[in-house]
Amino acid sequence: MSSVLSLNKTRSRWLTFGLLALGLALLPFLVDAGLGRSWVRLLDLALLYVILALGLNIVVGYAGLLDLGYVAFYALGAYVYAWLSSPHFGLHLPFWAVLPLGAALAALFGVLLGAPTLRLRGDYLAIVTLGFGEIIRIFLNNLNAPVNITNGPQGINLIDPVRLGSFDLSQPHALFGYTFTGIHLTYYLFLLFTLMVIFISMRLEDSRIGRAWVAIREDEIAAAATGINTRNLKLLAFAMGATFGGLAGGLFASFQGFISPESFNLMESIMILCMIVLGGMGHIPGVIFGAVVLTLLPEALRYTGDWQRNLFGHVYIDPADLRMLLFGVALVAVMLYRPAGLLPSTRRRREFADAQG
Amino acid sequence: MDIFLQQLINGLVLGSVYALVALGYTMVYGILELINFAHGEITMMGAMVALSVIGALALAAPGLPGVLVLGAGLVVAIPVCVALGLLIERVAYRPLRHAPRLAPLITAIGVSIILQNVAMLIWGKQYLPFPAILPQGRHTLYGASITDVQIAILLLATAIMLLLILMVQKTRLGRAMRATAQSRQVASLMGVDVNRVIAATFAIGSALAAVAGVMVSAYYGLAHYYMGFLLGLKAFSAAVLGGIGNLGGAMLGGLLLGLIESFGAGYIGDLTGGFLGSNYQDVFAFFVLIAVLVFRPSGLLGVRVVERA
């Protein structure tokens, strides 16, 4: 009897997996047909933000280190990609060589940032990481003289798209009797990386390292007393988070074909933080959900012009001006009604219930 | 010598404005351990409201003396900012007082986005010029020049800070504030109405922010819906530099940050042999901030918090 039940359980689990995989594979086509091509592009961006949010989640969600300069690692990954495969320096290395390099450089900077700040906690750490992010951005903005390294505020363009041999991912291809456009193919590439990052995050969460991070987050002194090497583990958290940031940066550069310091400002760091807090800190499904919602919400709010016309017969406020206002209202409202996030982890929900009771 | 003195004057003026804004951050932080991210936007709102009033008055009664018009602007801007501060505290922070630590931070960010966009809808996206109503006097002091506006900012900021210290040290409300900062629970057991004290803290901080906003826009001659972001960021950095939660620290941090910025802008080219220009002044400021925090993790005047086991 019980064996039949467990068989059913495994079968239904595989069924769920299969349906999920099918859904993810078909998603760009459904979106393309239902909402239009620009939404497929947004889907690609949403996947990038999932990678970024999961990376920051390691630092903030698991290890409890409030990092407001996370976008610096994103920027480093993007610039490494731009330097090594664009006409800027005349280098055109393949993406499988450049992406790991960008991620590695970001990881190195993660350790460089982490090492001097080990003694800082909470909001002091937040302001130092914020300063670090601003310093990187200002350097990117100004390093066009005396030697032109970053091309300053103009940024670097004509960045190579991802190419596998002669297969150019930004061009349409006919496969299996169907034409795949560049953004569809990019979706599958990003999905691959996103699944990899999700997998690594899940394995980390259940590992000795992940539990050590949670212990540090909850009480650093007690963690140290139980024999956890808090210094190394905090540095590892910074490095792991930065690696994902650098990876996302490289993908972003290849996807856009153009980067400038403008894309890597403080607001971007804050947005990524909002994604993980709004979704549910330290909880992978929550973080993914938060990243997708916050990427798509500002775009969805562009439709407020139509709503106004339907409701009042006239567009009173330009939807482009209104959408960020509504976005702010949504941030406040979600936090007021679900302070632990939209999809909090079981542990946080319980903690919160305790604190209330 | 004159360059040094000039940078010193500029730094002190800028620093005293940072200090006023930083006081708002540090008072709220001292009591609630909350980074009130929307504080910079309250400063912006103060500047915008005052600018509107001043513009309208200058148009309606052109003969009025500038100081009077400016005073009228302040008289309107301060209550508006106080009301705004109280509203934000009531709606966005009070319900989350027992929530996870980062939840009020996100509502604060949300509120600041809301305020920015409301200001953009009301006043538009362009830079608003500050009407030329103030005396344009300029004095020369050992080869450096100082304007009447700068002198007024310095004097007013100093007076306000002295009053604030007096208030916190000598009055009943000040004592209640200090008690609440030490322990909310014990303070309420001693009969302190904690909610009222927190509201009063927000009100005072917002009033200071309104004054600072008017000062900044008078100093630069401009106001913009986005001006609060960078100003708030710098003021918050200043509060952290001095040791957040500490009033003296916020003043010291503000003045230091102003000085670092203006000296950085003036001397960074000479220091690096012309390699880095004055566009790196913010880098310089953040480097100093990071260096100070690495060696003194609780800021310059911050008390070293004992780890609770």
Q: Is A16 on the interface with B (CB under 8 A)?
A: no
B54, pLDDT greater than 50: yes
Reference A335, options B205, B83, B37; nearest CA is B37
Coil vs helix vs strand at A251: helix
- CB-based contact (8 Å) between A318 and chain B? no
Yes or no: say if A98 and A250 are a contact pair by the CB < 8 Å rule: yes
B237 near A CB under 8 A: yes
- What is the predicted pLDDT for the residue at A1? 47
Closest CA to A82 of A263, A261, A254: A254
Instruction: Report the pLDDT value the prediction gives residue B206, as an integer from 0 to 100.
Output: 94
Is there a contact between A128 and B289 if contact means CB atoms under 8 Å apart?
A: yes
Q: Which B residues 285-304 touch A at CB under 8 Å?
A: 286-287, 289-290, 293-294, 297-299
Looking at residue A159, its pLDDT comes to 83
Statement: residue B232 has pLDDT above 50: yes
The predicted structure's pLDDT at residue A263:
87
pLDDT digits (tens, 9 = 90+) for A347-357: 766 766 665 53
What's the confidence (pLDDT) of residue B88?
Answer: 93
Which residues of chain A neighbour B307 with C-beta distances below 8 Å? 220-221
Residue ranges per structural domain of chain B? 19-227
8 Å CB contact of A335 and B114: no
Contact A124 B297 (CB under 8 A): yes
Strand partners, A258: A157
pLDDT tens-digit readout, A225-262? 999 999 999 999 999 999 999 999 999 998 888 898 88
pLDDT (0 to 100) of residue A241:
94
pLDDT beneath 50, residues of chain A: 1, 357
Assess contact for A162 and A81: CB atoms under 8 A: no
Q: Tell me: the pLDDT tens digits for A319-332?
A: 777 778 888 888 88
Nearest C-alpha in B relative to A348 = B100
Of A60, A139, A335, the CB nearest to B283: A139
pLDDT of A11: 78
- Is B99 within 8 Å of A340 when comparing Cβ atoms? yes
Cα dihedral sign, A32-A158-A103-A55? negative
Please answer whether residues A88 and A261 qualify as being in contact, where contact means their C-beta atoms are separated by less than 8 angstroms.
no
Confidence check: pLDDT of B56 > 70: yes
Token representation of residue A267? 């607001």
Q: What is the pLDDT of residues B114-168, one digit of tens each?
A: 999 999 989 888 888 887 777 777 788 777 788 888 888 899 999 999 999 999 8
The beta-carbon neighbor of A348 closest among B100, B277, B294 is B100
User: Positive or negative CA dihedral for A8, A9, A10, A12?
Assistant: positive
CA B87 to chain A, closest CA, distance in angstroms equals 13
Best interface-test mutation with B: which of A62, A65, A68, A331 has the largest number of B CBs within 10 A?
A: A331
Q: Where do the DSSP E strands lie in chain A?
A: 85-86, 91-92, 156-157, 163-164, 167-168, 173-175, 178-180, 258-259
Considering only CB atoms, A335 lies closest to which of B106, B279, B293, namely: B106
When pLDDT is averaged across residues B92-118 and rounded to a whole number, the result is 87
Q: What is the pTM of this model?
A: 0.84
B24-42 residue pLDDT tens: 888 888 888 888 889 999 9
